Structure 1
């Protein structure tokens, strides 16, 4: 098996003679389906394939799903998956490699529902009988358990953040379409959605900036933490977190509509933990209120990818 093999996805195969999981990977001759593991029942094969696709796509709860299904399989299946995981950690460094896995139907609908309300495993080895979202556990209440750590993004937090990202992206797209260079009317007031230092940029810059909000929303749709891949995404995420918090406090009815479809958690809407957990650093903050227009080269640096997080698919296009 080649060390640099790139897995595109995993699929379950169900026949009259048994059930197995196939790994679809690239080779010199194209895509190849390789048997990974044989299982005694169909649901286990389906769940295992879905969990491995989640690992490939960096889904937030994929490891937890994988641990759960591996607890009830044969030793040879656990060994095969364990040998595979280091290779999967390198797969998906660029999102164009995720197109096949992203297109497959999953066990859960894409979106905020892919996140979890709790990190409690049900009977924690540290807390003992810890259950019910850790609400009655004195150790978890003080965050003394290293297993039942606070959840960074819950389903309702993801839904509120996704709504904010969509709102702000649409605002920037509207501004891009109404700038004089785009052939529209006078440029509308960017308010705080577009930092002053880039408010004079052309429609091409503004459309890419709007796409930064959409790229982060796509992460949430896939069940991934929205980790910024460039400066534009850092600014977009910071503004979206602020806007989601503003909506929660200033427009409670609208906020309630956004999150009503998802289960609640005691970790919902902890906007401070998002600021701490999702950013590599806060070097971008000076740009949010920087009053002097940036040079062309300095503005273009906003879209230079960091390289130490999964990169965006260069052929992803624009939502509008």
Structure 2
């Protein structure tokens, strides 16, 4: 995992998403808008917290079919991961933290391993669900960030 040069994540409100992800210029490669990056950062941060909650609550106990309601998030991973113990779960949390660090450095959160792939997929699904369920909350959270007139206001996980 990418752990070099990581520092604790600052509060989302302290991150300069408008600077890290400036509006697109003609000919620029695709990158998320500041608003998309902020929403994804929030989603990844919540996911990391939920993984930590599952570790504290369940430790090494495997996820069991039918008991998914007692888990915060690890039950949403493929069943082949349900027997993963605490060290594996901590690695999953670290993978999500790496994706958060990518955004905090102004980089795309590129999944470089299966854990990051699953973490990013969960975070994208959660971000889209949040927008669908409470678009006003998302709009309020992003109000301080500039809108990109070339991008629709609707969340688009894929360009």
TM-score range (shorter-chain normalised) is 0.7 to 0.9
TM-score of the superposed pair, with normalisation by structure 2: 0.75
Question: Who is 2:17 aligned against?
Answer: 112
Q: In the TM superposition, what are the counterparts of 1:163-174 in structure 2 within 5 Å?
A: 163-174=42-53
Comparing both structures, which one devotes a greater share of its residues to helix? 2
Rounded Cα–Cα distance in structure 1 between residues aligned with 2:49 and 2:3: 23
TM-score of the superposed pair, with normalisation by structure 1: 0.39
Question: Who is 2:10 aligned against?
Answer: none
**Aligned in 2, Cα 1:213/1:180: closer, same or farther, shift over 3 Å?**
closer
Give structure 2 stretches of 5+ with no counterpart.
8-13, 62-66
Give structure 1 stretches of 5+ with no counterpart.
1-93, 103-108, 121-146, 274-320
Question: How far does the alpha carbon of each residue in 1:36-62 deviate from its partner, in whole angstroms, 9 at most, with x for none?
Answer: xxxxxxxxxxxxxxxxxxxxxxxxxxx
The residue matched to 1:248 in structure 2 has which SS? Answer: helix
Question: How far does the alpha carbon of each residue in 1:13-34 deviate from its partner, in whole angstroms, 9 at most, with x for none?
Answer: xxxxxxxxxxxxxxxxxxxxxx
**Aligned in 2, Cα 1:207/1:180: closer, same or farther, shift over 3 Å?**
closer
Structure index of larger Rg? 1
> In the alignment, is the contact (CA less than 8 A) between 1:111 and 1:220 conserved in 2?
no
> In the alignment, is the contact (CA less than 8 A) between 1:161 and 1:240 conserved in 2?
yes
Q: CA RMSD in A?
A: 2.7
> In the alignment, is the contact (CA less than 8 A) between 1:179 and 1:202 conserved in 2?
no
Question: Who is 1:7 aligned against?
Answer: none
Question: Who is 1:272 aligned against?
Answer: 158
Question: Who is 1:260 aligned against?
Answer: 143
Question: How far does the alpha carbon of each residue in 1:112-131 deviate from its partner, in whole angstroms, 9 at most, with x for none?
Answer: 221022223xxxxxxxxxxx
> In the alignment, is the contact (CA less than 8 A) between 1:111 and 1:222 conserved in 2?
no
Comparing both structures, which one devotes a greater share of its residues to strand? 1
- Of structures 1 and 2, the one with the larger relative CO (CA 8 A, separation 6+) is 2
